[in-house]
Amino acid sequence: EVQLVESGGGLVQPGGSLRLSCAASGFTFSSHWMHWVRQAPGKGLVWVSRLNDDGTRTSYADFVRGRFTISRDNAKNTLYLQMNSLRADDTAVYYCAKYYCSGGDCYGYMDAWGKGTTVTVSS
């Protein structure tokens, strides 16, 4: 069974930093591209970032570029999101999600999601 478990959320002051983790199991993590998606309270889903299988190709939403860094440790089956210079509007539940990958091809729809970790940016 595919499992994605996020951790690392919490309350942080504006301008602060957090590192989110996503522990993966039940699939070959090192073969899958991964996403981070967020959802502000009462709002819709917003894509944040994605990373390819070997960690060499990243993509970011404009509103986090230069502040957030996505990375992975395939030996630990873990995805990360380093968040710096946090702002109040970064307050959200952050989900990691798995790309659908088959036969070496990966497509950007999300066939498994974690339950999310909550980040609150407030003084």
Partner 1 sequence: DIVMTQSPDSMAVSLGERATINCKSSQSVLHSSNNKNRLAWYQQKPGQPPKLLISWASTRESGVPERFSGSGSGTDFTLAISSLQAEDVADYYCQQYYITPITFGQGTRLEIK
Residue type, position 123, single letter = S
Contacts to partner 1 by CB under 8 A: 35, 44-47, 50, 59-62, 95, 100, 107-116
Shortest spacing between CB 79 and partner 1, in angstroms: 15
CB closer to partner 1 out of 16 and 59: 59
Hey, what are 95's tokens?
């989900």
9-43 exposure pattern, b = at least 16 Cβ within 10 A, e = fewer: beebeeeeebebbbbbeebebeebbbbbbbeeeee
CB closer to partner 1 out of 9 and 116: 116
Shortest spacing between CB 4 and partner 1, in angstroms: 9
Shortest spacing between CB 83 and partner 1, in angstroms: 17
CA–CA gap between residue 103 and residue 68 (Å, rounded): 30
